[in-house]
Amino acid sequence: MDEDRKAIKFLLSNNYIVSPNSKTVFRNHSDPMALAKKFIETFSTDIKCDEFTLTKLINNTNQSPTPNYKVNIQPPISRKIPTIKKKYTINTKIDDLTDLHNYEPKFSIIQEPILSDNLVGDLNDMVGYFQNRYKKLSNILKRRADLSNFHKINEVKKEQNNISVIGMLSEKTINSENSAQLILEDPHNEKILEVIVSDPILVEQATQIMLDSVICVKGNVNPKGMFFATHIILPDIPSKPISSQNYADETVHVAFLSDIHVGSKGFLDKPMDKFIDFLNGKGENLHLQKLGKNTKYVMFSGDVVDGVGIYPGQLDELAMDSIHDQYDAFGNFLERIPEDVQMVVIPGNHDMVRSAEPQPKIPERYAPTLSKMENVHLLPNPSQVSLHGVNTLLYHCTSLPDMINNIPGMQIDKPIEVMINMLKARHLAPMWGSKTPLATEPEDHLVIDPIPDIFHGGHVHINGYGKYKGVQIVNSGTMQAQTSFQKSLNIDPTPGQVTLLNLKTRIPSQLDFM
Ligand code: D5M
Ligand code: FE
Ligand code: ZN
């Protein structure tokens, strides 16, 4: 790819709006990527990258301009695969790991979807669901400072210039590198808008958008009533200056786990035992011992058991064929974790709840041991909790394979990139009618609002972490060996890897319990 296109792509992936007239400036610049980075350093995403602003930036660069807005620049993806060389990468200094002897948990639930018991799932429910999605996401889009002159689809008329239209992306046809067609729908009426995209930058942007996302297109309508897009804008999250992000007031750690799959023949009890020993201060060295005693929160993002009857032929792969025994065995592990450690357990697609999302919490009748434990919080999938003041969104990420199958360039071993795409769409599972079943609740609980500080997912069984606009993203991996299903799909899991986060600094550490 040419240097100028790489630079523009970099800006787009950081969710800047790039005007087509900026292309010449990048093409004529000696170091387009350095210019793009300079732009991100100087301006927030509210500022459009166009010829005028770029020229001003270039002219001012030699005079060291004072940035009018400082953002925390991060490369869009900084995924780290756990290294083979180093078993433990602890990024909190041993002296900072204070003894939390008189520790008071600061735990609260921020968001827990209340699910209706009388869903019919008929057309009425479905329309109501999409109207709510549209309302929530269009409100988020309307809060963006860079958008104005909003029109509903039924208000679009011939010969209008520079208008913003919000709609749900119901169809997308990519004809070539510089030609695409989008169909936007308004779930309040039958109206649709056909959007013509003829700029290669916008075409590339369109390929990354999941169907049924709510987006905004800016553009002009010609005398024949044809809408030509000049910009495509996603709800996204704003770049939060570090000063306005949440941090714990003392050094305390959270550990992220998911996909334990207790009950499967492939469940690995040794790394699970080692992890529990670590929490009890029995790590291999002093640094690990102090870190273990400083880890007061453990998050489980779904698939804590393998379940029963989840896929055809599962019985042959089960070590325990009773769901009660599976949850009991999982509960026995949690009972060995110190009582002052707060734990959150949400369900995944293997847990004993409905598969349509949002999924309700694991019921007491299947998991009496877990329900009894005061330090175990059984919550729905998804949910948001506050850990020492740091907002943490837990979602199993069942929608990850759907997104990977539908967006070019997305890969199962790079879950963080897909989770970034969810943050850009401000939705955990936009696509309707794919493999992720969605419940037509009156409220769309899968819209990401409020914006979390930490976004924790699982499901792919491959550990990774990264950051996007200040949000710490973790996909926790698994405690299950490779299954025959994963082998058939060439999925190489990373069992026993656990990511921890220091809630005071929000710096991750990485431990390998295999
Ligand atoms: O998911 C186990 C693994 O299988 C994980 O790597 C995701 C992958 N997976 C799960 N469902 C699908 C579909 N539908 N397509 C492709 N890959 C998939 P688990 O939920 O533990 O069974
Ligand atoms: Fe799983
Ligand atoms: Zn799963």
Task: Decide: 487 in ligand 1 pocket, CB within 6 A.
Answer: no
CA–CA separation, 24 and 143 (whole Å): 31
**Quick check: CB of 435 below 6 Å from ligand 1?**
yes
Per residue in 340-356, pLDDT tens? 999 999 999 999 999 99
Q: Which atom of ligand 1 is nearest to the CA of 348?
A: 20
**Which atom of ligand 1 is found nearest the CA of 404?**
16
Q: What CA–CA distance (Å, rounded) separates 327 from 330?
A: 5
Q: How far does residue 28's CA lie from ligand 3's centre (Å)? A: 48
Q: Is 491 close to ligand 1, i.e. is its CB under 6 Å away?
A: yes
For residue 238, whether the previous peptide bond is cis, meaning omega lies within 30 degrees of 0, is no
Q: Atom 6 (ligand 1): residue with closest C-alpha? A: 460
Q: What percent helix, strand, coil does the chain show, rounded to 5?
A: 30, 25, 50
Mutate to test the pocket of ligand 1, among 351, 462, 479, 489 (most ligand atoms within 8 A of CB): 489
List, as own/partner pairs, every contact residues 363-370 make where C-beta atoms lie below 8 angstroms and the sequence separation is at least 24, other chains included: 366/323, 366/324, 366/327, 367/327, 367/328, 367/330, 367/331, 369/327, 369/328, 369/331, 369/332, 369/334, 369/335, 370/327, 370/330, 370/331, 370/334, 370/345
Q: How many CA atoms lie within 13 A of 108 on its CB side?
A: 6
- Ligand 1 within 6 A of CB of 133: no
> Exposed (0-12), middle (13-18) or buried (19+): which is 224, by Cβ within 10 Å?
exposed
Q: How far is the CA of 346 from the centre of ligand 1 (A)?
A: 17
- Please report the atom of ligand 1 found closest to the CA of residue 478: 21
Q: Provide the pLDDT for residue 82.
A: 44
For 301-343, the pLDDT digits (tens) are 999 999 999 999 999 999 999 999 999 999 999 999 999 999 9
Give residue 395's pLDDT.
98
CB count within 10 Å of CB 17 equals 22
183 lines ligand 1 (CB under 6 A): no
Q: How far is the CA of 375 from the centre of ligand 2 (A)?
A: 24
Per-residue pLDDT in tens (0 to 9) along the chain, 514 residues: 788 888 988 888 777 788 888 888 999 999 999 999 888 877 777 678 888 889 888 887 655 433 333 333 334 444 444 444 579 999 999 999 988 877 889 999 999 999 987 788 888 899 999 999 999 999 999 998 777 789 999 999 999 999 999 999 999 999 999 999 999 999 999 899 999 999 999 999 999 999 999 999 999 999 999 999 999 999 999 987 777 889 999 999 999 999 999 999 999 999 999 999 999 999 999 999 999 999 999 999 999 999 999 999 999 999 999 999 999 999 999 999 999 999 999 999 999 999 999 999 999 999 999 999 999 999 999 999 999 999 999 999 999 999 999 999 999 999 999 999 999 999 999 999 999 999 999 999 999 999 999 999 999 999 999 999 999 999 999 999 999 999 999 999 999 999 999 999 999 999 999 9
Q: Compute the distance between CA of residue 497 and CA of residue 509 in angstroms, rounded to an integer.
A: 11
User: How much is the pLDDT for 100?
Assistant: 83
Cα-to-centroid distance, 348 and ligand 3 (Å)? 5
**Looking at residue 63, what is its pLDDT?**
54
Ligand 1 neighbour 289 (Cβ under 6 A): no
Residue 175 DSSP label:
E
Residue 48 has a pLDDT of: 82
Q: Which residues surround ligand 2, an ion (CB under 5 A)?
A: 259, 303
Is the CB–ligand 1 distance for residue 489 below 6 Å?
A: yes
- Nearest atom in ligand 1 to 311's CA: 22
Question: Is ligand 1 within 6 A of the CB of residue 349?
Answer: yes
